[in-house]
Amino acid sequence: MTPVTTDLDARRIARIPSLAAALLLAVALLLAPAVTGPEALPSAHAQGCPDIEVVFARGTDEPPGLGRVGGAFVDSLRGQVGGRSVGAYAVNYPATFNFLAAAGGANDASAHIQYMMANCPGTRLVLGGYSQGAAVIDIISAVPFPAVGFNNPLPPNAPDFVAAIAVFGNPTAKAGLPLTVSPIWGGRAIDLCTLNDPICSGGEDVAAHSNYVPGMTNQAAAFVAARV
């Protein structure tokens, strides 16, 4: 039987793009007081089709690459997956204090994910991000429609390829929207926030925003290793 779309359904569907725009704006506002971490590590790039590919977005004001948190997470994951190969893609975006530019990172991450889906279908994908980079992952996992510069949403079959998501210092967690509550990604997501980190909680300890290595990066790597 053909499903019936009610007026209420239509109104809800029509609101989705505006809700997507609101999410992007909320991410920008929540990141406004963002703090920077220590020097980032250089990026590692996958060659060919690895068994596992991590797509990671660095935090605000870190130099291009995986960033300190991303580098530690990938290194820890490599030590927990036996002999399987782990590639890493550093999301290409400014990571500046213009937080609406996170949409550009979401476009880049989505493009790489879709490339891997098409060209390396046997590779298990892992998405990750730290601080503003976590917001990049929020955008591509929670916004299915174009909004505020995000114009490359993931296709509906992306969950068939993405095994796990790991984010650190996620600004939307402060708004009560960690990725763990996502109806699509919640069961395969870990959304970590250090005690009193002002970016992802109501705390006021600015230094806490840099305290994800090695404890929580190892924790996230163990979570992901169990799912890839």
Looking from the CA of 19 toward its CB, the CA atoms found within 13 Å total: 10
pLDDT at 168: 98
pLDDT at 117: 97
Query: Strand order of the sheet with strand 124-130?
Result: 86-90, 52-57, 124-130, 162-168, 189-192
Single out the catalytic residue among 43, 110, 131, 141: 131
Q: Determine whether 210 is an active site residue.
A: no
Is 2 contained in some domain? no
Omega into 155 within 30° of 0, i.e. cis?
no
Q: What is the pTM of this model?
A: 0.80
CATH number at residue 43: 3.40.50.1820
pLDDT at 43: 32
Which contacts of 181-190 are long-range, i.e. CB under 8 A and separated by 24 or more positions? Answer: 182/141, 182/142, 184/141, 184/159, 185/141, 185/159, 188/162, 188/163, 188/164, 188/227, 189/141, 189/164, 189/165, 190/164, 190/165, 190/166, 190/219, 190/220, 190/223, 190/224
Amino acid at 106: A
Backbone angles phi, psi at 184, to 5 degrees: -95, -45
Single out the catalytic residue among 112, 141, 191, 209: 209
pLDDT at 143: 58
Is 76 contained in some domain? yes
Single out the catalytic residue among 43, 191, 197, 210: 197
- Could you count the other beta carbons within 10 Å of the beta carbon of residue 49? 14
pLDDT at 24: 52
User: Residue 131 belongs to what domain range?
Assistant: 7-225
Cα angle for residues 160, 23, 166 (degrees, 5° grid): 45
Is 175 contained in some domain? yes
Is 16 contained in some domain? yes
What does the pLDDT profile of the chain (228 residues) look like in tens digits?
433 333 333 333 233 333 344 455 555 444 444 333 333 333 333 347 999 999 999 999 999 999 999 999 999 999 999 999 999 999 999 999 988 888 999 999 999 999 999 999 999 999 999 999 999 999 998 755 555 688 999 999 999 999 999 999 999 998 888 999 999 999 999 999 999 999 999 999 999 999 999 999 999 999 999 999
Q: Determine whether 45 is an active site residue.
A: no
Number of structural domains found in the chain: 1
pLDDT at 12: 34
CA dist 150 to 8, 16, 17, 129, 136, Å? Answer: 27, 14, 11, 17, 10
Under 8 Å between Cβ of 140 and 172:
no
Is 183 contained in some domain? yes
Is 1 contained in some domain? no
